[in-house]
Structure 1
Amino acid sequence: MKYHLVTLGCQMNQSDSERVKRVLDGMGAQWTDNESEANIIGILACSVRQKAIDKVYSKIALWNKRKASQNLITFISGCILPADKTKFLKLFDIVFAMRELPQLPQMLSQYGITTPAGLERDNLNPKEEINFFWQVKPKYNSAFEAFIPIQNGCDKFCSFCAVPYTRGREVSRPSHEIIDEVKNLVEKGYKSITLLGQNVNSYGLDKKGEEITFAQLLDEIGQIGAASNHRFWVYFTSPHPRDMSREVIEVIARYDCLAKQIHLPIQSGDDKVLIKMNRKHSVKKYRESVDAIRELIPQATLFTDIIVGFSGETEEQFQNTRKALKEFQYNMAYIAMYSKRPGAASYSWPDDVDLKIKKERLALLSEDLGEVSGAYNEAMVGQVFPVLVRDTDRKSGYLSGQTEGKITVRFESDNRTLIGQIVDVKITSASNFSVEGELVEVAAKVG
C-alpha cells in the first residue's frame, strides 16, 4: 500500500503534512513520489488562494478518472472554506479537518484498508481535537530545517482573509510541548527552526493565566540556545503588528539563536485602507514596531506582505503604500493582487480596481522593492556571512543557501556534503534579490 500527498499553500500546511505522513506511515503505508503508483492520495488544500483551489479541482478530476481502472482512495484536508468543503464532499472519499487527523486510520478502515485500532475521539470539541493533533509526532521533511506549530486559528478577522473560517479561532499549543520539540530538534542537530501560527505573537492570549506569553516562550527557547554548543537559528511567522511588543524585540536581541529576521505584514501603507481591511493597526503603530527593531536589532532584515488593488484602493492610497515600502526598507515583500475569497467579509464588496491597474501597481511595487533590497545587498559585498546551505543552485557547479537574515546566497562548490551545514561565505557581488560569494570555510560543526 503506497500513498502520495500534495501540499498547497503556506508553511502551516507544510508542517501539517509532516504529521499526516507520520499517521500514514504508522498504518504501514509507504510514501511514493509518483502519485500514479499510490493507492491513497491526499491533498492539503488552501482556500485562501483561488489558484490553489483550482489546482484541487484539476487533481481530483484526474484521480477520479483513475478509479475506473485502479483501486484508489482520495482524501482532502488543510484550509478549507465551508462552501468548498460542501463541494469536496461529492468529489473526495474522505474530507476532514486537520484537527481530526488522529481519526484518519478509522476513516480509511471504512474503505477496506486494514489499520491498527484507531483512537476514539468522539464528542470532542475543536480545541480538544487540535490538542490530539499536536500530539502526532511529525515526520520531518528535512534533516536540518523544521517547522513547529505553536498555535492554530485566527481571531483577527481581517476583511480580506478566510483563515478564521478555515482554521477556526485561535488556540495556543501547550508551551511544554513546543519547548520539548525544540530541545529534540536541537539535540538532533537541526540548524533552522520556524515557529508557526497565524498570529504567533498573540500566543497564550487565549489562555491567560494558564500559559506563558510569546515573549516568554521565545525567552525559554533562547535559553535552550544559550545552554547549547550547537549553532541554530529560530524564526517565527507570522506576527501581527497589533501584538508586536517591545518585549518580544528585546528578547530576540538578547539571544544569538533567535534569528535576526522579522516578517511583519503591513498589507497597506494607507490608514484608510488598513481600517477597511480591519487590520486593527495604523501606519504609526507599525512604524513604532519597526523603529524598535532598528534600535534594538539594527542588523535585522525585515520582510512583509502587501496587497495591491484592495476594494476601493485609490491611486493616492497606493502611493502611500509605495512610500511605506521605501520608508521601511524591506529586504523582501510578498506582494499579491487582491482577489475576493468566499467567506471573507470583503467578498460582498465590489472588486473595483481594474486588473490592468492591479498588475501595474504590482510591477511598480516590485521595482521599488528591488531598489531598496538591492541597495542592502550591495552593502553586503566584501563582508563574510554565515550561510545555511540548502541545496544545489540552478547555476551549474554552485550551491545555494541563506544567511541568518534569509538573504539568498550562491557560491561555487560541488561539495553536496555541505548541504544542511553552516558555512562562511564572502560576498563578492549582488543583485536585487540575491548575492553571490566565495566559500571561506566551513563553520565549526559542534553540538
Structure 2
Amino acid sequence: MKYHLVTLGCQMNMSDSERVRNVLEGMGYQWVENEEEANIIGILACSVRQKAIDKVYSKIALWNKRKQSQNLITFISGCILPADEKKFLKLFDIVFAMRELPKFPQMLSQYGVTTPAGLEKDNLNPKEEINFFWKVKPKYNSSFEAFIPIQNGCDKFCSFCAVPYTRGREVSRPSVEIINEVRNLVEKGYKSITLLGQNVNSYGLDKKGAEINFAQLLDEIGKIGESTQHRFWVYFTSPHPRDMGREVVEVIAKYKCLGKQIHLPIQSGDDKVLIKMNRKHSVKKYRESIEAIRELIPQATLFTDIIVGFSGETEEQFQNTRKAMREFEYNMAYIAMYSKRPGAASYSWPDDVDQKIKKERLALLTEDLGEVSGKYNQNMVDKEFIILVRDTDRKSGYLSGQTEGKITVRFASEDKSLIGQFVKVKITSATNFSVEGELVEVESLQEV
C-alpha cells in the first residue's frame, strides 16, 4: 500500500506531518511523490488562510472523483476550525485532530465510515492527548534540518487570528523531551534545528512553576552546543513581543549554537491598530525588545510579520507601519493583506479597507522592505560568511544556502554533495532581495 501527504500552512504543520509519516510507515505504508499512485492520501490543512482552505476543497474534489474508478482512502487533519471540520466530515473518510494521531491506525481500520473523532470533545483530555502525540517519533523530511515542537496552542487571542480555535489553549511540551530530541539530532549531525510554537517565549507558563521557562530552555540547549565540537544553529518561531524579555536575548548572546536571527512579529506600527488587534503590546514595548537585541546581539538579523488593511486601518495608521519598517530595518517581513477568518473576533467586523488599497499598501511596504534589507545586503559585499547549503538554486549551475542570520545566498556550483554542509562564501554582489557570492572553501566547518 502506498500513501501521499499534502502539507499546507506553517512550519508547525510541517513538523506534524513528520509524525504522521512515521505512523503510516510504521503500519507498512510506503511514501510516493505522485499522489495519483497512492492508495491512501491525506492533507494537513490550515484554516488560518482562506487560500489554504480553498486548496483543500480543490484537492478533495479530485480525490473523490478518483474513487469512482479505484479504491482510495482520504483523511484530513491539521490546523482546522470547528466549522471547517464539520464540512470536511462529509468529504473525507477520516477526520481527526492532530493530537489524536496515536489513534490513527485504529481509525484506518474502520476507514469505511467517516470518523468524527475530532469533534468528540467531551470525551477527550486535550492536554493528555497532545503529550501522547509528542511521544510519536517524527520521520524527519531532511537529513540536516529539523523542526521540534515545544508548545501547542495559543492564549493570546489576537482578534484577527483563528489559531486559538484551531489548536486550543497553550500546552508546553516537557522540557526533558525537547532537550533529548535536540541532543539526539545533534549527535546525528543535524545542523539547523527550529523550535516551534505559536508563542514560544511563553513556554512553561502554563505549568505554573513546574516547568522551566523559555530562557532556561534555551540555556539548556546552549549547553549542548558548548559540549560538542559540531557546528549547529538553533532557531525558534514565533515569539510574542509581550513576552520577549531581555533574559531571552541575553541567553542567545551567550551561546554560539543559538542562531543570531530573531523573528518578532509586529503586525502593525500603530498603537491603536495594535489595541484593536488585541496584540497586548505597544510600539514602545516592541522597541524596547529591539533595542535589547541591537545592544546584546548587534550582528542579529530581524524578521517580522505585518498585516496591511486590517479592519478600519486609516492611511495615517498605515504610514506609522511604514515608519516602523524603516526604524527597525527588517531583513525580512512576511506581509499579508488582511482577510477575515471564521472564528476570529474580527470576523464580525467590517472588512472596510478596499482591496485595491490593500494591494497598494502591500506594494509600498514591500518597497520599504527592499530599501532597508538592501542596505544590509550591500554591506555584506566583499565579506566572507559561513552558510549552510540547503538546495540547488533556481539559477542554473548554482547552489543556495543561508547564513546564520538566515540571509539566502547563492553561489556557482553544481556539486550537490555540498547540500547539507557548511561552506564559506565570499559575497560578490547584492540587490534588495538577493545575495550572490563565490565559494571560498569547503573545510571541516562542521566543527566550531
TM interval, short-chain normalised: over 0.9
Question: Shift in Å at residue 433 of structure 1?
Answer: 1.4
Distance 2:131 2:308 in 1: 37
Question: Shift in Å at residue 191 of structure 1?
Answer: 0.5
CA contact (8 A) 1:386 1:443 kept: no
Distance 1:23 1:240 in 2: 32
Once the two structures are superposed, residues 68-95 of structure 1 have per-residue CA deviations (whole angstroms, 9 ceiling, x without a partner) of 1111110000010011011000000100
Matched with 2:168 is: 168
Question: Shift in Å at residue 124 of structure 1?
Answer: 4.3
5 Å-filtered alignment, 1:422-433, equals 422-433=422-433
Matched with 1:15 is: 15
Distance 1:112 1:49 in 2: 30
The 1:423–1:340 alpha-carbon spacing in structure 2 relative to 1, beyond 3 Å, is: same
CA contact (8 A) 1:17 1:44 kept: yes
Distance 2:224 2:327 in 1: 35
Distance 1:17 1:341 in 2: 24
CA contact (8 A) 1:215 1:248 kept: yes
- SS of 2:139's equivalent? coil
Distance 1:316 1:163 in 2: 29
Matched with 2:158 is: 158
Distance 2:360 2:236 in 1: 32
Question: Shift in Å at residue 51 of structure 1?
Answer: 0.3
Matched with 2:287 is: 287
- What is the identity, as a one-letter code, of the residue corresponding to 1:138? P
Matched with 2:51 is: 51
The 1:157–1:112 alpha-carbon spacing in structure 2 relative to 1, beyond 3 Å, is: closer
The 1:21–1:176 alpha-carbon spacing in structure 2 relative to 1, beyond 3 Å, is: same
CA contact (8 A) 2:385 2:424 kept: yes
Matched with 2:89 is: 89
| TM-score, scaled relative to structure 2 | 0.97
CA contact (8 A) 2:422 2:446 kept: no
Matched with 1:103 is: 103
Question: Shift in Å at residue 111 of structure 1?
Answer: 2.7
Distance 2:208 2:199 in 1: 16
CA contact (8 A) 2:423 2:445 kept: no
Matched with 1:378 is: 378
Distance 1:110 1:418 in 2: 46
- What is the identity, as a one-letter code, of the residue corresponding to 1:360? E
Once the two structures are superposed, residues 323-374 of structure 1 have per-residue CA deviations (whole angstroms, 9 ceiling, x without a partner) of 0000000000000000000000000000000000000000000000000000
- SS of 2:154's equivalent? coil
- What is the identity, as a one-letter code, of the residue corresponding to 2:305? D
Matched with 2:415 is: 415
Distance 1:82 1:168 in 2: 11
Matched with 1:300 is: 300
- The share of aligned pairs that are identical, in percent, is 87
- What is the identity, as a one-letter code, of the residue corresponding to 1:98? M
CA contact (8 A) 2:312 2:353 kept: yes
Matched with 2:215 is: 215
5 Å-filtered alignment, 1:351-370, equals 351-370=351-370
Question: Shift in Å at residue 396 of structure 1?
Answer: 1.1
- What is the identity, as a one-letter code, of the residue corresponding to 1:334? Y
| Number of equivalences | 440
CA contact (8 A) 2:421 2:446 kept: no
- What is the identity, as a one-letter code, of the residue corresponding to 2:146? A
- SS of 1:289's equivalent? helix
Distance 2:443 2:356 in 1: 49
Segments of structure 1 that go 5 or more residues without pairing to the other structure are 114-121
Question: Shift in Å at residue 414 of structure 1?
Answer: 1.1
Question: Shift in Å at residue 445 of structure 1?
Answer: 4.5
5 Å-filtered alignment, 1:5-404, equals 5-111=5-111, 123-404=123-404
- SS of 1:223's equivalent? helix
Distance 2:208 2:49 in 1: 33
Distance 1:194 1:368 in 2: 28
- SS of 1:279's equivalent? coil
- SS of 1:215's equivalent? helix
Question: Shift in Å at residue 434 of structure 1?
Answer: 1.9
Distance 2:95 2:414 in 1: 45
- SS of 1:304's equivalent? strand
Once the two structures are superposed, residues 170-197 of structure 1 have per-residue CA deviations (whole angstroms, 9 ceiling, x without a partner) of 0000000000000000000001000000
Distance 2:446 2:385 in 1: 18
- SS of 2:234's equivalent? strand
CA contact (8 A) 1:3 1:38 kept: yes
Question: Shift in Å at residue 62 of structure 1?
Answer: 0.4
CA contact (8 A) 1:371 1:432 kept: yes
Distance 2:361 2:55 in 1: 26
- Bigger CA drift: 437-446 or 89-98? 437-446
- SS of 1:194's equivalent? strand
Question: Shift in Å at residue 394 of structure 1?
Answer: 1.0
Distance 1:99 1:443 in 2: 43
CA contact (8 A) 1:80 1:166 kept: yes
- SS of 1:274's equivalent? helix
Distance 2:8 2:132 in 1: 23
Matched with 2:119 is: none
Distance 1:235 1:104 in 2: 31
CA contact (8 A) 1:193 1:235 kept: yes
CA contact (8 A) 1:387 1:423 kept: yes
Distance 1:65 1:393 in 2: 36
| TM-score, scaled relative to structure 1 | 0.97
- SS of 1:359's equivalent? helix
Question: Shift in Å at residue 443 of structure 1?
Answer: 3.7
Distance 2:103 2:227 in 1: 39
RMSD: 1.2
- What is the identity, as a one-letter code, of the residue corresponding to 2:433? F
